[in-house]
Amino acid sequence: MPGFTIDKERLQDKTKLFLRVNYTTSIISILFGALCYFFLNITQIIPFALAGFAILNIINLLYFKAHKNIVPTFNFSSIIGLITAVVVTVYSGGIHSPFIFMIPLIAFGGFINSTRYGRIYLNIIIILILLIFTQTIPELRITENLVTEESSSVFSLVSVLFAVFILGNTLGKTLLKTYNAMYSSKRALAMQVHEKENLLKEVHHRVKNNLQTVSSLLSLQSRNIETGPMKGLLKGTQNRVIAMAMVHEMLYMRNDISHIEYKSYVQELSEYLIRSIKGNDNNVDLIIDIPDIKLGIDTAIPLGLLINETLTNALKYGIESDQDGEISIKLQKDNEQENCYILEIGDNGIGFPETINHKNTKSLGLKLIHNLTRQLRGTIQRDNSKKGTNYIIKFQEIKQQLSPVA
C-alpha cells in the first residue's frame, strides 16, 4: 500500500506539471499570435498556427477533466505542439529560426512524462530537424520566410523569451519543487528506516536477554539434580537456548540486522560447546572451513540448532572422555543450485552402527538433526568414507519465517 500511495502521488505531480505547462503555453501562444498579426505584420500561417494550437490544446485540456486519462491528453498536446513548432519554424527562417528551440522542449516534456514517450519524441524530432535543414537547400525548398527584416528582431526576442519562460519559469520551478519534495521524502524515509533498525536491534537485544534468563533458570534447575538423564536433558536444552541467543546477540551487535556472518557464529558456538561439555582443558581440535557467508535469521537459527545437536552428540558419544578428537565443520555454497548450501560436519570418534537411524532410535539429538534438515528443505546423508560420524547436509536458504520444529 505505501508503494501504491507513492506512485499515485507521483502521477498526480506529473499531471499537475503537464496541465500547468500546457495552460501557460496556450495562453502565451495566443498572445504571441496576436503580436505577430497586429504588431509585427506577420499575417500568414504563423499567427494562425499559434492560435490554432492554443485553441485545440485548451479543448484537449478541458476534455481531460471528463475522461481523466493523462496519456492520450499528453500525446495529443505533444503532437499538435510539435506540428505547430515545425510550421512556425519553417516559415520563420527554418534552421536559423529562433523558434526552433521550442521543438526540443517537446522531447524534454516527454521524458518528464515517461522515458518511453521521451525517446519516441526525441527520434521524431531528430528526423524533423533534418527535414527542416533541407529547406536551406534551394533545390529542396518549399517554404518561405514570412518574418520580415523589420520584425525579425522582435520575433526572435519573443521566441527566445517564450522558450525560456516555458523551460525556466514553468518546468524549472516545478521540477525544483518536485526535487525538494523528493529530498524531504527521502530524508523522512531514511529517518524511519533508522528508527526501525534501532527498534529491531532492541528487539533482538531483549530476545537475547530473555533467552539468557531461560538458560540461567535451566542452569539453576540442573544444579539441584546430581546425576541422571534429567540433568543431561536440562543441559542439552540449555545449550539449544544459548545457540538461539547467540544469533540474536550477533544481530544486535552488528550493523546488518538481517544477516549474520556465519563463520564467527559457528566458531563461537563450537568453542562454547567444547568448553561446556569437555571442559577448558580438553583435547578436541576444532577445524572450521567457512568462507564469507551471511545468512538470515530464518536460516541461521535452525542451522545453528542442527550444528548444536551434531556437536553435542559428537562430544558426548563420539569422542570418549578425555581422548584426543577432532571436529570439522565445512560450509560452502552449492554451485549447482541457487540459494543452496552444503554443510559437512562430523567427528573422528567411535561412531555408531549404520543400522541406527532417526526412525528407530530414542536419541532426541538424532531426531532433531533430521527434523531440522527437513525444516531447512534439505537432505542429509552419512559420509561413511571418514572415520567417526560425519554428515553431508544440503539445504536451502529460507526466506520466510519457519514453523517450530516438529
What residues does 294 pair with on adjacent strands?
261
- Domain 256-400 listed as CATH 3.30.565.10: yes
Nearest Cα neighbor of 334 from 325, 342, 326 is 342
Distance CA(331)–CA(264), nearest Å, equals 12
Q: What is the pLDDT of residue 189?
A: 79
Distance CA(309)–CA(314), nearest Å, equals 9
Residues ≥6 apart with Cβ < 8 Å to 78:
106, 109, 110, 117, 121
222 residue type, one letter:
S
Q: Is 326 helix (H, G, I), strand (E, B) or coil?
A: strand
Question: How does pLDDT run along the chain (406 residues), one tens digit per residue?
Answer: 444 455 566 667 677 777 888 888 899 999 999 999 999 999 999 999 999 999 999 999 999 988 888 888 888 988 999 999 999 999 999 999 999 888 887 777 776 666 677 788 888 888 988 988 988 888 888 888 999 888 999 999 999 988 888 777 666 666 666 667 777 777 877 787 777 777 777 777 777 778 788 878 777 777 777 776 777 778 778 888 888 888 878 776 766 667 888 898 899 889 988 988 888 888 899 999 999 898 888 888 889 889 988 998 888 888 887 888 999 999 999 988 888 999 999 999 888 877 777 677 667 778 888 899 999 999 999 988 888 899 999 999 887 544 444 4
Distance CA(119)–CA(264), nearest Å, equals 51
Helix axes 2-38, 102-113, angle to 10 degrees: 170
DSSP output for 160-213:
HHHHHIIIIIIIIHHHHHHHHHHHHHHHHHHHHHHHHHHHHHHHHHHHHHHHHH
Q: Parse the chain into domains and list their residue ranges.
A: 2-188, 256-400
Main-chain phi, psi angles of 293, to 5 degrees: -115, 130
Q: What is the pLDDT of residue 368?
A: 87
Please name the residue that has the C-alpha cell 498572445: 31
Q: What is the 8-class DSSP label of residue 43?
A: -
Q: What is the pLDDT of residue 1?
A: 45
Strands (E), 270-322: 284-289, 294-296
Q: Is 394 helix (H, G, I), strand (E, B) or coil?
A: strand
The three three-digit cell numbers of residue 341, written as one number:
548450501
C-alpha of 63 from chain center: 39
Nearest Cα neighbor of 84 from 151, 147, 6, 25 is 25
Distance CA(195)–CA(371), nearest Å, equals 37
256 residue type, one letter:
D
Q: What is the pLDDT of residue 35?
A: 93
Q: Strand 259-261 relative to strand 284-289: parallel, antiparallel, unpaired?
A: unpaired
Q: What is the pLDDT of residue 358?
A: 67
Q: What is the largest CA-CA distance in the chain?
A: 114
Q: Strand 340-347 relative to strand 390-396: parallel, antiparallel, unpaired?
A: antiparallel
> For the whole prediction, is pTM greater than 0.75?
no
C-beta separation of 310 from 345 below 8 A = yes
Give the CA-trace dihedral at 16, 22, 24, 29, to 10 degrees. 180
